[in-house]
Every structure is written in C-alpha cells, then in structure tokens.
Structure 1
C-alpha cells in the first residue's frame, strides 16, 4: 500500500508549497525537487507493490518509500509552521531582537536546506534501486476526472432485505420457537443460532428481532453485542438502556448489583426478548446469568461461532445451525448485489455475464458474506472484460490450495475487494482497524480523523461548494457500496425534517471484515494496538508486524490502568501521527506521562485521550497540566469523558487545530479561556461539564 500513502503525502507537500510558500523562502527549490523526486518514485510503486512478495529486498524498499514520504512531509511542514510562527512574533519585537531573529532564521533555513538535500539524495537512490531491479513506472495512470468519477459514483447502502436469500423457512421455524409459551425445562428460554463467521447469523437474528410476530408477542426488546473484550458492566447497561432509553444517565450511575436487581424485576413482570449477539465464550454468560430469571415468559436469542458455547448457556434450549447457501441461492444473491439496475457495456450480452457470474459464485462456497463482497466488487465493473479480469484474479488466488477452508476463501475474496479499491480509499479503510470490535463509529468523528491525517483530498471536489466533510462522506459511501463497511443511514419519519446534513449516522465492520482489516493493517505497518486491560502490556491479536519500517499509529486500550504503563522509546514514538488512549473503565494519566512522554509525540496529527483522568484535579494549581502546546502539527484533539487541568496558553498555540472534542469531559482551566482564541476550522463540542 505504499502508492496510496505516498500519493496523499505528496498532495499535502504540494499544498504546503503553495499555501506556505512564503515561509519556505530559501529552501523552496530544494522542497520542489523533493516533491518531484517523490512523484517519480510513486510512479514505480504500483509495480513494486505487486512484486514485493517476490523478494525481501523489494519489500524492504517499499517500506522505506513510505517512511521517506512521511519524513518529507514532516520536514517541510515543520519548517513552514515554525518559520511562520517566528515571523508573526518578530513583528512585535524591538530592532535588536528582530535582527537576532533574522540571523537565527537564516541559520535555520541553511540547516533545513541541507536536511532536504540529504533526503532528496536518499529518495533518488531508492528510486534507482527500484529501476535497477526491473521495477517499471506505471504508464497508464487514471486521469483525474475518471478517478473522481470512480470515487463519486452514486451509492446507496444495501438494505438487509437484499442480502436475505433462501432462509425464509429458517425464519418461520425459529419464530415458532420464540413465541412458544411453553417453558424450557430447568433453564431460561435460550434460542441459539450457531455457525461460522459470515454465514448470516446476525442477519437472521435481526430478521427475528424485527419480525411483526415478535413485536406482537414480546413486551420489551434488548440487543447487545458481546465482543471479545467484553465488560460485564457494559453488557448489563446495554440491556437496561434498551429497556429504558429515557433513563440512560440514571442507569450509568448504578452499581452492578442494582442493575442485576432491576433486570430480574423487570423480566419477571413481562415478556422480554434479549439478543446476545456474537458471544465467543461462556465467561461472559457466567458473569451476567444472575440477571436472568430461571423461569420467565421471555426468551434469550444468542448468536455464536461456537456451538459448544450455546449448548453450555442453554443445555435445554433450541439450537439452530446456520447453513450455507446453495449454488442457486448464491447466484440469486449475487444478482441482487451486482446486476440489478446496472448498465451493461462493451462486448458480451446479459447471458455472458450470467454464465461468468455463476462460475465465480461457486468460489464463495455458499458463504453469504463472500457472495456479498464479491457482488460489491462486480457492482463497480460494467463491462464483460472487467468481469473476466475479476474471474481470472479469483482463480489465481484460490488455485493455490484446492482444500482451502471457507474462512481462507473469504479472506482471499476480501483481499481482492481491497485490491480493487481506489488508492485513496485504502488508508481510509485501514483506519477502521483502530476501533473496538462491534463499535458503532460516529461518522463525523471518523471523517475528522481522516481529515486530520490528510486522507481526504480536495482534488475530489466536484464543484458546487462541497466541503471536505462531503468528500469524506463520499469515501464512506463508496466503501459501503463495495460492501467493505456497514453503515447506519439517517432515517426520517413521515412529516419530519432532516436536520443532519449527513446521510449516515455511524458505521462498523463485520467481524470477518474487521479481522481482515486488522491483518492488512499489520501487513502494511499501518498501526499497532496495545492492550493493558489486565495490568500487563499485550499486543492484541493482529496488531503486530514482522515487516520493517516505522509504525505511525498507536492505539492503547487501558482498562482501568495508568497510562504511564505505555512506555515507548523515543525512536519508536517520534514518527507517530495518531495516538489513541482509550480506557474501557476510568484509567488515569500521571504527571510522569503527561510531562515527559508527551514531549516525544512531536509529529502527532491526531490525539485522543478517552476516559482518562488526571490525578489531583481538585487542586488545579498543583495538578499536572496536559502539555500539548508543542504539538504544532495537531489537527484533531479529543478528550472525551476525561478529566484534566489545562492551560489556555498551551491550547492556543495549536494554530492548526481543526477539531476539538470535549464531549462529557471535565476541563479545569488555569484561567478563563474565551473560545474565540481557538482557531478552529471545524466544530467545538464543549460538553456539559466544561468548567472555566
């Protein structure tokens, strides 16, 4: 994925040369030459990416190309920002101090000029290494207009009904069990749907949950996802909030035993349907089963990849195994995804498409997710030749092992879908690996994070006053159309007016798609995930990488631990562009981290500290301040649900900050801070606990 990384960094450098050109005086020619060298190297990266598995040396060169591009952007941007700040400050000084500043600036320009020349030489040497190995420059690159059309095609998220094929009998059978008033002997009423990932368990459960017969039979409904990093309190809260959404704030303050008592009382007095989606082990059930009466008129509907888990939870329950689709059902689903209302272009009639499609769908092995993803690929291909290319690629991917398991087949098809993404969408997709399993990611937060990293390109504006947020939404829409992400659309009831300018509320990844996303992010050195939920550092599955090169994004899950457990060497952190601290409970951040380690993150574009508290908040004079004033590259700052003491002078130095998110945060300022002093280009969410 070196080509998309280098491409969006090149765009950033190009904008700096235009917008900050006056502050690059003295090194402008060197910066332009660096930009030109990177463009020539980018032309080689498409071929290099394809050949990197042939030899370790090519893989190493590809990794170096990304690091050099990041280094180039950091160098040019740092120099431009610092000189801009110096020149603005120089106007207020006396003549002698102003002369001293001019001398210092000349020295800095000379030093930076030498650094850029050195970087130029390294890029040039790497480019020659590619060429000597036989790496060829791409001769046919997409024109700008056609690339825009590819990114901006009309999209619409496919409703569940279109993905639902051949399971009507299963719905009828399961619904009869759910509404059966007969008590299950010796246990609460458990109905399970088991099967491999991507087999449609959640789709089937959602159909039952929203079925008119279920709405008529049950009084109350709750749906919770049980992730692999589950927390007992979050599960209990999720069920109660589903029952009593208007009492959310009250419920969040309850102790665990209070939540258990309320759940027992409520379920004994009515018929409740509770869905436990994607439960991986019996441990989660053992922690929450006390909240479910042994005998009641309600039902528990659970989905799991492990049949043994379902049998242990409900030994006397009803257990249904999701089945694979037949070839005919798979073809029907593929037609819905790929051929409905699609124009046919070029050679070949509809029959030719059908014959080729029926051959391709057999490679999916009857797995619904694989068919849906393949349909997402084919939906963007309008000519028979394009379909034939996809067919040949699938055959080459799967020919490596005739006995490959279904999950392996799915990952091959997901890989093909990823490879077919426009280059600008690849880093946007990989960024989703930073979020929790089953997390519904608010789209505005996602868009702002993409923008902070420079992943949203102004080149994709089609005119008509489109904002960068509009462009980001078109990116997400394209990912949804290709079935790479699942989105929650904004819906409007009859007679109501749409208040939000956005088409989506949130998005998330299917479990298998998330597994693939994490694996691909690991392969590309895109990010690294640390887990400290149990007091020790754990590199979460799929987060490590065996390849060389710098990792530019760290995600840290703290549990209730101190953030100072995250201790990295300066050489490891000085390249970081994104840093996310997230406490699943309320973690803390000591002065040690706040005052020392923060100084190592000088290149950050995005900083999130969520659910973390600074000790000694009641004594703001002596409490450690969050030292972020030196983060001159910062575009995005989120302190959601955190508590900190901050200095206005520190945050006012963040001249390029675009988004400040203080939702549910308690910020104690050392003195009053007027919002107008913040030069925000985006929005400020100050939350209800802002304190000045």
Structure 2
C-alpha cells in the first residue's frame, strides 16, 4: 500500500522536520539512529525521497531495507541497489558485513531500516554499520516502543507517528470510494461515513481497507451495506486503535471478496514478508494452480489480469515499481502489506491451502500438503525437530506446487527424494537457489506446467525435460556465468507442444532440433541464443521455423558474439516474420537490408529493442518511423556506429511516446533532433558514457514532458552540461506559459 503510505508522509510533514532537526543537532558526530514508532509500521522507506530533497547533496550514500522478524545479517538488498555489489546474494554473513563496512567507509550515509521487531535484531544490524564521524543517520521504524528506545540515544530522538486528523481521514476515504478528494458522498449515507471514520481512528490502513470495500456501493440505496460494515468494525478501534483491531478490518475486507478472489489472495501467503512479486509470474502461478476460471472469448491470462486489477482496486495488493532486467526486460511487480500477509497466512493455514516451512514457520506440522513453500531457515540443520515438521519427513505425494525461497536448494532437493514422489506437481520454482544439477527425474513430473530455474548455478537441463508434455513455461538462467546463460535444445522438443514461454535456449548444429521448433505452435514468448558460427543449413531451417511461429508475441534473438560480422540475423530477410510479433529484441550485427525488410513488416510492433547492431546512417529511424504502432524503441549497447544519429523532420513516428538510448564508448557523440521530428515523444532517456556527448535540438521535441539522464559517478561533467541546457529550456517554457520538463538524473 505504497500510495497510502505516501499520503501519510504528505499529511504528516513533522516526521521529516524531526529527523532533519536531529541531523542538525548532532552534525559532525557519528552515525545516529532516529527511530519512529506507530501502529501499524508506517513504512519509513517511502519517505526517503522527502528527506533527500530537504537535505540537498549532503548525503553521499543511501539505502533502505525491511527487517525480517528473524533477521540474519546476510540481507544487503538496500546496499546492493545503491552500489551494485556483485555476487551479494551468495555472500555469507561475515563477508557481507565486511563489504558493508567497506562500502560505507568514510561516507556520510542515510539508511532506513523498516519494521524492526526486536532489540536483538537492532543489535545485529547496528554492529555492522561503521561509526565514522561523518554525521550519518540511521532511520528505524518499529511497532514496539521498547525497540524504539533501544535504538535511540534519548527520548527526543523518537518520533511517534500520529493518526490522521478528521479532514485528512475524510479526504483519503473519499479518494478511495469516489475517486477524488473532492468527491461528494451522498447525503443519505454521509452520517454513516462519519461514524466509520471515527471508528477507524485516523489509521490510514483501516481507512483504505474499508473504503476499498465500499467502493462498489456508492449509491444512496447502499446505506444498508454501509451500516453492515460499520457494525463489523470493533467499537474499541475509535479510542484504542490496536494491531488486533487492524487485523479485524483486514479480515473484514477479505471476507467480502468473491470466492475466486479469496483463493487468489490466500495463494499470496506462499511469499516471504516484503517479497517483491513479479506480476506475470503471479498470474501464471494462479493459472497453473487452477485458480483462474475459463471465460468465453478470453484467454486465461486475460482473466487472471482481471482478477489482479480487481484486487489492486480493492487495495488488497499494492503495485510496486517495475524491475528492469537485462534479459527479461521490464517486469511489473507488486507487494502485499505485512498485515495483509499475516491475515492471508492465517487463513491459508486454517484451510490447509498452503504449507509453510522454514523461517518463522519452523516447527509447524502438516498432514496433507498441496502447496509447499520453503522459506529461509529450512536448511540441513533442521534435523533436531520431528521428521513430520521438515521437508524430508512430509508426505509430498499430493503436492501440486513447490516454491523455494531458500538459497541452499540442493539440500532440499535431495531430501525431497529428487522429485520421485512429486508426481502431481504443477508448479516448480527453484529460482535463486544454489542448485547446480537438475535431476533427470524431473521428466517424470507429467502434470508440471511451470518450471522456473532462473538465477541458479545450472549450466544446462537434462534431456528428459522433453517428457514434460504439459509444460507451458520454462525459464532458465545461470546466476554468474554469461556463457552458461542458456540451455541447449535437445531432440524431442516437438513433444512439448503446450509451451507458451521459453527463455535462454540455444540452437547450435542440429538441423532436426531447429526443425522441431516450428512445431511449438502455442509459443508466445521466446528468447533464443544463436552462435555466430552456426552452420548455414541449420540457420536456414531455424529461420524457416521462426517464421512459422504464428502465435509469437515476444522474440529475443541473441547472437553469441560481440563482433561486427555476418550472423544468423542477416538471414532473417529471406522470410516473413510472425505477423503478430509485438516485442522483438535483436542483439547482434544487422545488415541494412535485414532491418529494412524484416522489421518493416512488423505492423503490430509496439516496442523494439536492438543492441550490437553497429548500424549507420538513417537506416534505423527510416524503418522505425513507418511502423504504425511503435510506441517505445530502446537502443542499447553498440546499436550505432556513426558519430551522429539524427531524427529527421521527414520521419513521422505516428505514435512513438518514449525513446531510450543507452549506447557506450561515447558513440554516437551527438543525438540530434530536427524540427518536427518525433512530434508525440513524451519521455527521452539517454545514458552518457565516456567521451564528449551532447543533445542538439531538444527544443524541437514539442510534446516532451520528461527527460531521464544516467551518467557515471566519475564523469559527471557531461550530464551537468546537458542539465544546464535543460534549465534554459525550462526557463523558455516558463516564459511561454507551457509545462516545464521533469528531469531525472541517476549516476552509476
């Protein structure tokens, strides 16, 4: 519920002032913690931008992270985001602590740690943060007063989150029910609304939960429903808002969900606390579990999208920031509020819907297991507890989905009998674990629909995967070895006719395998690696096979070579592309004719990504400008070989709204926009590398609303020069009475 938390920070600016005063009072001293307390935990991490704007450029390093209820030092996600530390996920606690101290050495840092549950957790965190006398600050949020006192040097350092006032409570409620803070509540139910707000006690989570529940009952005739909800809220909430009272409100929201959405919400209990959930993966899980009902005229994925949107509108699920990954593209994500997750776990365990082991669920006992989720902590040391309470001692014959959020997955695989008892399994998620070998017995999972082994240490898959005739999604990647970032397609691929999504598969020298790809008629998303030296006859067959994948929407072709040489992509000109293709990505040298003929036929193309193409002249924009549905081209590493790239007046780009250019080596040196070019462009993103680079003619982009610059920390001059130009452009906009540009800058 980030939107809810953002509103809370806006209506309670005292928190920002409090932390900044503490910063000024202790200037020059070591790292000082400033805890905040409240019910429920306010999510201080969302207030970091406010603090950052107010403190200017004094802070040189910043990060935020949520604390686990059973914390280990080995969770450096926030620092990972800031400093891009390699291999952080595989570090043990000692190495991670040493790396953290090294990263923050001689830096003034601002760190936000959200939702600390115990003094022991704070002690474990504090001991690895350096006290370097640089005036650093640590902001801690907690629901427990004794923890707040343990984190602070004095009571004046503690900021107690205040409840919303009557006016702000009403604004928040109206915005959720009627879509606007100025929305009018019908007079027939206004008195009930006031009583509901009083019972919510100014707690944003309570207000949003109830408002989302009532959003479908806006008419005066709905008074009875409003009164039912009013009676369901505990009377003690008004004067003594407590966590238990909040839980009752969350339960109330859940109880009023349609039956099919209740199952989808309970399924979220498989994820650990504060886990960032990729939306597409969640929807595929729902489908694989049979939680999405068929509807005439709609694909199951479209029905699942509707479920997701309804849960978001009811504030049961909160949208999160997109994740951009190099090989998987942009992934939309979501989160579940901690308290919502607590309720879902309780409901799931009561209904035996999900079985959880490891972490805070250590020692729980289950008889019949259908959906098994293994969290951190279920490792080889669990032998002390009864066998029935561990993965090894469970009856797993009825398990339909297995998800691991535990790094040491190889221990668990051996203790689960290497799949021999998991015959009913439909969903297998081993993503992020340390497995290096997938047992050939995986081919016996005849009901398996989804196999996710991304970010593991696998260097291939057993040939028995071709026995998985019901498999719809196969996702593979190696955690740290680029050249093992794919799996070689075996003979027998034609048997996997249910496949809809496959990534990081390589086709080498087998003509039969290249031919079998054409028989995967349901395939909608494909990432395929092709060696630059692929035999001519294999390349011709593969080209023909790709042209026959009529359902294909996303195609990523990667050439295993960085050299500017002829390769498989040069052969695409001889065939027609799949006409429904909307999201192609090409990584490899392209000839001018190839781009002109093949890409120019993609009339349904919406986004286009290209890298290592070494294009010259006007070829690129001449082709792309004629595509009727192209909205977002992304031009990546070595896409261009000339020193200047020009968007011409004659290049119309009928619907293009976003352009992203991330080249390297300082080429092209000039990005030029002629008058009248790209008339509908709203967002321009450019990454500056070494050398002198510049943008010429940005004033000709008449519809531009946002500019995003990315630069190198050690070479800020290029970006700063461009920022000066944008300031002048904004001054001109102001004089003309037009909207000013939003400018975002990030250094790596």
Q: What is the TM-score of this pair, normalised by structure 1?
A: 0.62
Alignment correspondent of 1:631: 445
Deviation at 1:451, TM superposition (A): 1.3
Alignment correspondent of 1:478: 310
The 5-angstrom pairing of residues 598-617 of structure 1 reads 598-613=419-434
Secondary structure, counterpart of 1:234 in structure 2: coil
Alignment correspondent of 1:302: 140
Alignment correspondent of 1:193: 36
Q: 2:348 aligns with which of 498, 501, 521?
A: 521
Secondary structure, counterpart of 2:112 in structure 1: strand
Alignment correspondent of 2:608: none
Q: Measured at CA, do residues 627 and 471 of structure 1 come closer, stay the same or move farther in structure 2, by a change above 3 Å?
A: same
Q: 2:66 aligns with which of 221, 225, 243?
A: 225
Judging by fraction of residues, say which structure has more helix.
1
After superposition, what is the alpha-carbon deviation per residue over 1:207-238, rounded to whole angstroms, capped at 9, x for unaligned? 644x5213543222111111114331223xx2
After superposition, what is the alpha-carbon deviation per residue over 1:482-528, rounded to whole angstroms, capped at 9, x for unaligned? 11111115499xxxxxx9998x7211111111111111112222111
Secondary structure, counterpart of 1:363 in structure 2: helix
After superposition, what is the alpha-carbon deviation per residue over 1:337-359, rounded to whole angstroms, capped at 9, x for unaligned? 22234999xxx972233322111
Deviation at 1:391, TM superposition (A): 2.5
After superposition, what is the alpha-carbon deviation per residue over 1:188-223, rounded to whole angstroms, capped at 9, x for unaligned? 21111112225x3437644644x5213543222111
Deviation at 1:453, TM superposition (A): 0.9
The 5-angstrom pairing of residues 446-457 of structure 1 reads 446-457=282-293
Contact 1:432/1:517 (8 A) holds in 2: yes
1:574 aligns with 2:382: no
The 5-angstrom pairing of residues 112-511 of structure 1 reads 158=3, 161-162=6-7, 164=9, 166-178=11-23, 182-184=27-29, 188-197=31-40, 200-202=42-44, 205-206=47-48, 208-209=50-51, 211-235=52-76, 238-245=77-84, 248-249=85-86, 251-252=88-89, 256-257=93-94, 259-288=96-125, 289-293=127-131, 295-316=133-154, 318-341=157-180, 350-396=186-232, 398=234, 406-459=242-295, 467-490=299-322, 505-511=332-338
Secondary structure, counterpart of 1:588 in structure 2: helix
Measured in 2, the distance between the counterparts of 1:522 and 1:379 equals 29
Number of aligned pairs? 496
Contact 1:558/1:587 (8 A) holds in 2: no
Alignment correspondent of 1:653: 467
State the structure with bigger RCO (CA 8 A, min sep 6), 1 or 2: 1
Q: Measured at CA, do residues 388 and 529 of structure 1 come closer, stay the same or move farther in structure 2, by a change above 3 Å?
A: same
Deviation at 1:329, TM superposition (A): 3.3
Secondary structure, counterpart of 1:633 in structure 2: coil
Measured in 2, the distance between the counterparts of 1:273 and 1:161 equals 19
Measured in 2, the distance between the counterparts of 1:639 and 1:431 equals 20
Deviation at 1:601, TM superposition (A): 2.0
Q: Measured at CA, do residues 638 and 387 of structure 1 come closer, stay the same or move farther in structure 2, by a change above 3 Å?
A: farther
Provide structure 2 residue ranges, at least 5 long, that are not aligned to the other structure.
Answer: 507-527, 532-748
Deviation at 1:293, TM superposition (A): 1.6
Contact 1:197/1:511 (8 A) holds in 2: no
Measured in 1, the distance between the counterparts of 2:249 and 2:356 equals 25
Deviation at 1:265, TM superposition (A): 4.7
Q: Measured at CA, do residues 472 and 436 of structure 1 come closer, stay the same or move farther in structure 2, by a change above 3 Å?
A: same
Q: Measured at CA, do residues 588 and 646 of structure 1 come closer, stay the same or move farther in structure 2, by a change above 3 Å?
A: farther
Measured in 1, the distance between the counterparts of 2:354 and 2:396 equals 12
Q: Measured at CA, do residues 478 and 644 of structure 1 come closer, stay the same or move farther in structure 2, by a change above 3 Å?
A: same
Deviation at 1:165, TM superposition (A): 6.0
Secondary structure, counterpart of 2:113 in structure 1: strand
Deviation at 1:412, TM superposition (A): 2.0
Deviation at 1:581, TM superposition (A): 3.1
Measured in 1, the distance between the counterparts of 2:368 and 2:122 equals 41
Deviation at 1:291, TM superposition (A): 2.9
Contact 1:626/1:644 (8 A) holds in 2: no
Deviation at 1:240, TM superposition (A): 2.9
Contact 2:288/2:427 (8 A) holds in 1: yes
Secondary structure, counterpart of 1:629 in structure 2: helix
Secondary structure, counterpart of 2:171 in structure 1: helix
Contact 1:657/1:680 (8 A) holds in 2: yes
After superposition, what is the alpha-carbon deviation per residue over 1:302-340, rounded to whole angstroms, capped at 9, x for unaligned? 111122223223324711111223344322321222223
Alignment correspondent of 2:362: 538
Q: Measured at CA, do residues 519 and 501 of structure 1 come closer, stay the same or move farther in structure 2, by a change above 3 Å?
A: same
Measured in 2, the distance between the counterparts of 1:489 and 1:558 equals 24
Measured in 2, the distance between the counterparts of 1:438 and 1:327 equals 30
Measured in 1, the distance between the counterparts of 2:529 and 2:71 equals 30
Secondary structure, counterpart of 1:233 in structure 2: coil
Q: Measured at CA, do residues 341 and 478 of structure 1 come closer, stay the same or move farther in structure 2, by a change above 3 Å?
A: same
Q: Measured at CA, do residues 477 and 672 of structure 1 come closer, stay the same or move farther in structure 2, by a change above 3 Å?
A: closer
Secondary structure, counterpart of 2:443 in structure 1: coil
Alignment correspondent of 1:136: none
Contact 2:320/2:334 (8 A) holds in 1: yes
Contact 1:614/1:643 (8 A) holds in 2: yes
Measured in 1, the distance between the counterparts of 2:488 and 2:417 equals 20
Measured in 2, the distance between the counterparts of 1:327 and 1:525 equals 41
After superposition, what is the alpha-carbon deviation per residue over 1:44-69, rounded to whole angstroms, capped at 9, x for unaligned? xxxxxxxxxxxxxxxxxxxxxxxxxx
Measured in 2, the distance between the counterparts of 1:657 and 1:194 equals 48
Judging by fraction of residues, say which structure has more strand.
2
Measured in 1, the distance between the counterparts of 2:99 and 2:433 equals 29
Measured in 2, the distance between the counterparts of 1:349 and 1:308 equals 42
Contact 2:431/2:455 (8 A) holds in 1: yes
Measured in 2, the distance between the counterparts of 1:351 and 1:532 equals 50
Alignment correspondent of 1:683: 501
Contact 1:584/1:611 (8 A) holds in 2: yes
Deviation at 1:609, TM superposition (A): 2.7
